[in-house]
Chain A
Amino acid sequence: MSEDVRELTEEEKADKERRKIKSAGAMRELMTKYYIEAKGAEGTKRHIAWITSGAPVEPLIAFDVIPVYPENHGAMCGAAHMNVELCEVAEGRGFSRDLCSYARGDIGSAITRGGPIGGLPRPTFLVACNNICNTVFKWYEELARFFDVPLFIFDTPFVRGELPEHLAAYSVRQMHEYVSFLEKMTRKEYDDARFVDVAAKSLFASALWKEVLACNEHRPAPMTCFDAFILMAPIVTLRGTQEVVDFYQGVLEEMKRRIEEGIGILPSERYRLLWDNIPVWYEMRNLGRLFMELETCLVADTYTSAWTFEGVDAEKPLESMARIYTEVYLNINLERMADKIESLATRFGVDGMIMHSNRSCKPYSLGQYDLAKEFTRRTGKPALIIEADHTDSRWYDRAQVETRIRDFVENLLGSGL
């Protein structure tokens, strides 16, 4: 708290500068360029598709369609503390406050063109994939009515245990259908060579991203997962392009250099924690400060690794991608999620876990109480559940959450229990 008030000494300033992640600047440039291009395309002949964060974007890139991500925009509105007013617009139109705040904010922004960048460019069509939640297709149905544009739904039913063949086959049929839909929308023919090229770049970027995240296995960790939440924007929105590959190559080099030089993200790292769920976007700065004060580094999370794809068969990119997109983290049963959490905990050597019980995200949050218990049973480490909402700060009680985090770190971790 006192850091807000006290002037930093020259030495402290230099140290802070040394710890700062330089790639964040490159990322801002990349994302600014992307949003300028996307917004500039509105009203031109270029196609713009609004797409959900877990949907296969590679076909869009291969068809030269500009992908636009309302969820990324929602995070941006949340971080800029502008999402509540957008939510209120949607609520004024009859949308319940109990609906996902990304969806409410997005509907509000579509109506008013509000938010830090003056709203998103109007879509020519929409693509929703329910591998992250079933909220998205209801949300996109509303967008399809609002903009009066076609909606393609890539339906990925829930996977229990191993991916069954009939489900994989359903996904593959839809991947082909998706391509036909794009041919119709863009009046272009599918070009296999182009798709393979995009898929390869996407995979390459995703492999680099995975390596970037793995750098945090090192002590002290070169970044926190709050940095990863920021640095993930390009892998979510633009994977499949060369720029993204170049960008993550740069990030990886920086992380490796930090490790070599022993530069941790925190001045002092006593505890290492795992984070579960979407960030509390409007609270990143305050939470970041709190964890720094508590000498606690959030070294890994279940969220950013959702964009590390594995097992793509270069010979059959469409087919293998269809399978991969069906088996993402939020579309699998609790036991498989527990396996993933356990593996992250082991790899990153964490002392405990903080779970964000996110009012706006049921598939991510329901089951967390059981997962927390399972985590402790398997690893012997404690877990804390905090209540919040990813972009609706009206549901957030800062004093209460901070006290709980403090107690957790100071008492539970500090006592070595």
Chain B
Amino acid sequence: MEVRTIVEECLELWRDPYPRLARLGEEGERPVGVFCSYTPEEILHAAGLTPVRLMGAVRAITHADAHLQAYCCSLARTDLDMALAGELSFLEGAVFVQTCDTMMRLSDIWRRNTGFSYHGDLVLPIRMGEEVSLPFLIEEVKRFRRGVEGFLGREIGDDALEESIRVYNRNRRLADRLYRLRASRPGAIDGLSATACLVAGFWMRREKHNELLHGLLEDLEGSEPIGGDGKLPLLVSGSVCTTPDLFELLLELGADVVDDDLCCGHRYFDAFVDESAPPEEALAKRMWERVNCPAKHQCIEDRFQRLVRQVGDSGAKGVVFYLQSFCEPHLFDIPYLRQCLQEELEVPSLVLESELQSFSRGQLRTRLQAFIETISGV
């Protein structure tokens, strides 16, 4: 398939994955919703389930307001709203990884008010990367596996789990190759297309996504750069981008995303699962040592220094923080992250907040335009 066709299809999925997800059942797949990049998707995959990412939707809230206050993030509110409206009935259930206070409570609210047959909880420590928490995390992963087995009514074989780990590791290698290609050959693929091809994987069986990425890379690596140089290089940091709008607008405005620190981007595929260790231990270890979500306290690599390094390496001239309104973990880090970028690299940054129930492309455009003009004017 041609690069352009692949990218188009991925973009379409990113714009609205739900029609596609609703058809998965007809194709014999058993989708389970996941919200978080810490979800040990390999266990679901090995169980014959298809993990699909729920990243909210641009929509007005009609049902969720009876259960969640307006000061809670729009990811939780719109996801719950879809579930209560019966629009996620294609799911067998969902997995709640407890990263923040909202996810911790959403799990109970979801369980009590929706009728899915499967409900998974994974409780994470916040002290990632410290010896004291690893045994707890390994036991949690084991408990999570037992929960899935209980739902299936059968055991998940170690062989199957090890195979799923290999499939997901291959996916991480391919994603990493895509990001490296983008960095080493400017103009080979823009940020919008690269990210679209990555996130499209959230809504398909992982083997299929591996094929897609492999085909894409073969084509890209064998062809000449299609141009697109001369765009202002930027880095995007934050949680998830529910829609491609941010990336599209940046391209339209003469900028391009050269790297990201998003949990639907670089943070999703960071670090591998050790294929030689016992599977649960290896899965836990990856979560424990990977670049952390700001809802976790990480001791191995400081998130601030990592971002400074990433910005330096990618040559980004500015950073766009794209966060969910009311997201405490991200909002707490913002002042210091911006200070580090300014003091160590003199890189300016912009903070944008996403509220899916009142999403305004026009407003987003105005603010991005002003930011880009400021940097270009320097």
Contact = CB atoms under 8 A, between A and B. Distances in A.
Interface of A: 93-96, 98-100, 103, 130, 133-135, 137-139, 141-142, 145, 153, 155, 157-158, 160, 164, 166-167, 169-170, 173-174, 177, 333-335, 357, 359, 362-363, 365-370
17 contacts: A94-B335, A138-B294, A142-B336, A155-B126, A155-B297, A157-B125, A158-B104, A167-B136, A169-B135, A170-B125, A170-B132, A333-B108, A334-B108, A335-B108, A363-B101, A363-B104, A366-B101
Contact of A359 (B68, B71, B332, B334): B71
Given A173-B132, A334-B105, A334-B112, A130 B126 contact: yes
B67 A370 contact: yes
Contact of A158 (B123, B331, B333, B338): B123
Contacts of A335: 108
A166 B328 contact: no
B276 interface: no
Interface in B316-334: 325-326, 328-329, 331-334
Q: Which of A335, A363, A367, A369 has the most CB of B within 10 A?
A: A367
Question: Considering the complex of A and B, which 6 residue pairs feature the smallest CB-CB distances, nearest first?
Answer: A94-B335, A166-B139, A138-B332, A170-B136, A366-B105, A334-B108
A369 B67 contact: yes
B68 A369 contact: yes
Contacts of B297: 137, 141, 153, 155
A155 B121 contact: no
B248 interface: no
B338 to A, nearest CB: 6
A370 B109 contact: yes
B126 A134 contact: yes
A169 B126 CA distance: 16
A138 B328 contact: yes
Given A98-B71, A157-B98, A170-B136, A366 B123 contact: no
A100 B104 CA distance: 17
A95 B331 contact: yes
A366 B132 contact: no
B352 interface: no
B102 interface: yes
Contacts of A177: 132
A157 B132 CA distance: 13
B331 A366 contact: no
Interface in B260-296: 294-295
Contacts of A137: 126, 297
B140 interface: yes
A166 B109 CA distance: 25
B5 interface: no
Nearest to B323: A96
A170 B132 CA distance: 7
Contacts of A173: 132
Contact of B332 (A130, A142, A365, A369): A142
Contacts of B143: 164, 166
A173 B329 CA distance: 26
B54 interface: no
A109 B33 CA distance: 43
B121 A133 contact: no
A357 B136 CA distance: 33
Interface string B94-120: 000010111011101100110000000
B136 A166 contact: yes
A365 to B, nearest CB: 6
A98 B325 contact: yes
B127 A155 contact: yes
A158 B295 CA distance: 14
Given A367-B109, A369-B67, A138 B72 contact: no
Given A142-B332, A158-B98, A166-B139, 12 more contacts: A94-B335, A103-B332, A134-B100, A134-B295, A138-B333, A157-B125, A158-B123, A160-B121, A173-B132, A366-B106, A369-B66, A370-B112
Contacts of A158: 98, 104, 123
B305 interface: no
B200 interface: no
B184 interface: no
A137 B328 CA distance: 11
B360 interface: no
B105 A100 contact: no
Interface in B333-353: 333-336, 338
A96 B109 contact: no
B293 to A, nearest CB: 11
Contacts of A167: 123, 136
A166 B141 CA distance: 11
B236 interface: no
B62 interface: no
Nearest to B139: A166
B234 to A, nearest CB: 20
Given A99-B331, A135-B328, A359-B71, A166 B135 contact: yes
A103 B328 CA distance: 11
Contacts of B66: 369
Contact of A94 (B98, B104, B334): B334
A174 B72 CA distance: 31
Given A158-B104, A363-B101, A370-B112, A96 B336 contact: no
Contacts of B328: 98-100, 134-135, 138, 362
A166 B123 CA distance: 12
Nearest to A337: B108
Interface in B117-157: 121, 123-127, 132-133, 135-136, 139-140, 143
B146 to A, nearest CB: 12
